[in-house]
Amino acid sequence: MPLNFLAALAISLAISVVSAVIQLLVAPKPKAPQPEAARDLEEPTAEAGRPVQIIWGTVTVKGPNVLWFGEKSNKQYRVKV
């Protein structure tokens, strides 16, 4: 009697472990979070009647009025000096 119980327990445990491993392998992978610098960029807008800013020099423009804005991303480059 105890031999049948131990065999059933071992089979049940093996099925549980195999099931857990399969679940981990097929689970959807979370996307990598965006870098903080990419999240800080404000969304540009394209509104009719909004004035177009003329910029001279280097300034930070908050909320630009544009028609297209490329993909928000940060790229790191390594340069040998």
Tokens representing 17 are 């472990």
Domain ranges in the chain?
A: 2-31
**Residue pLDDT, tens place only, 19-65:** 999 999 999 988 877 666 555 556 666 777 777 777 888 888 777 77
Give the pLDDT band (50/70/90) at residue 5.
Answer: confident
Is-contact 53 71, C-beta < 8 A? no
Task: Name the one residue in this structure whose structure tokens are 């509104």.
Answer: 47
Q: Which residue has the tokens 């177009």?
A: 52
Contact (Cβ atoms closer than 8 angstroms) between residue 53 and residue 65? yes
User: pLDDT at residue 81 above 90?
Assistant: no
65: exposed, middle or buried (Cβ count in 10 Å: 0-12, 13-18, 19+)? middle
